[in-house]
Amino acid sequence: MSRPTDPRLTDAILDSALRLLAARGYEATTVGAVARSARTSKAALYRRWPDKPALIADAVRHALRRANPALPETDDPRDDLRQVLRRVAHALTHTPYGGAVRAALGAMGPHPELAAALGEVERERRQVLRGPLSRLGVPAAAVDTESDRLLGALYLRALIRQMPLDDAFIDALCAPLGATLYVFAGLPGVGKSTLAAHLTRVRGALYLRVDTIEQAIRDAAGGLEGPEGYAVACAVARENLRAGRSVVADMVNPLPVTRQAWRAVAAGGPCHEIEVVCSDRAEHRRRVETRPSTVPGLRLPDWAEVEARQYAPWEGDRVVIDTAGRTVAESCAEVEARTQAHRQEHAGPSIADDAARKG
């Protein structure tokens, strides 16, 4: 029966292995040297690890777990991602972890067993990234590609270029992720505001409802003379997209000119247009006539006004969600799945090609 191992000694051995690896390199970090640094015997090490590669991999894993403890999930997946990357950056630049990784990378060629062990460590690290990346809307098949981009940039800058990993650099890395414009459209009463609000929560986005903006203008100015609400919404959306924040815009969006204006707001970035319809006329009418107003002071249109509303047929690509005969939960699940699929279909070549290869 093997003797129980002291966890405090185990931690001391792992810390010693990491420091020696960073200072001396892989070849000079012998089991004997680690034992002497930790003030213990080689036998104590071999009771815990079968060989040196296993010890080194565990030391790197130990440092990674300290750098990336489980973080609480917040309502802002972009900030969750920033926190993970900041911890990695701190470990690379302010602890022996950075030097240890540099030494281990140089030794992986002649020591395939070390490469295999470190590969397992790296898979654990990617699991930490998977949560916030998925909540930012990155397609499942592209998560590995985005992880490579994020972690690769940190490694290259810290270990090769030896440049600082400051918050500005991490913010720039995260900016393209999830900075997506979702434009909802549809006649009053089809359910678009419910779906838009749901997608806002799922994507951690900014919610812009033109009804709310227009009513605020009426309250402040005594009336509404033209497209002021759309103009304000477009301007606010544009500024948030530039800052790397996704936007969900909710409005009737009835004309080609308004739809083109929103495409211009995206400025070539990801833009998903979602038209919500209710193909059951009786159900649509019932919703219009029974729904309460959720915007203080806003008078909702009656059925005659909805039928008379100018609404031009769509041209071009869009996601169409028909809410007729569907529960709110079913329609919410559909808009999540359809927008994610649409995002993958329209991903940039590097992401799409990599996703296809992995598939």
Q: Residue ranges of the domains in the chain?
A: 7-174, 181-358
Position 230, amino acid: Y
Residue range 251-306, pLDDT digits in tens: 999 999 999 999 999 877 788 999 999 999 999 999 999 999 999 999 999 999 99
DSSP calls for 45-76: HHTT-SSHHHHHHHHHHHHHHHHSPPPPP-S-
Per mean pLDDT, which of 97-101, 123-127, 156-160, 193-197 is the most reliable? Answer: 193-197
pTM tops 0.85: no
Question: pLDDT of 76-88, one tens digit each?
Answer: 787 888 888 998 8
Q: In CATH, what number does 7-174 get?
A: 1.10.357.10
Q: For residue 217, name the pLDDT band (cuts at 50, 70, 90).
A: very high
In which order are the strands placed within the sheet that holds 181-185?
206-209, 247-250, 181-185, 271-277, 319-322
- 181-358 CATH pick, 3.30.420.40, 3.40.50.720, 3.40.50.20, 3.40.50.300: 3.40.50.300
Q: What is the pLDDT of residues 179-206, one digit of tens each?
A: 789 999 999 999 999 999 999 998 888 9
The total number of residues shown for the chain amounts to 359
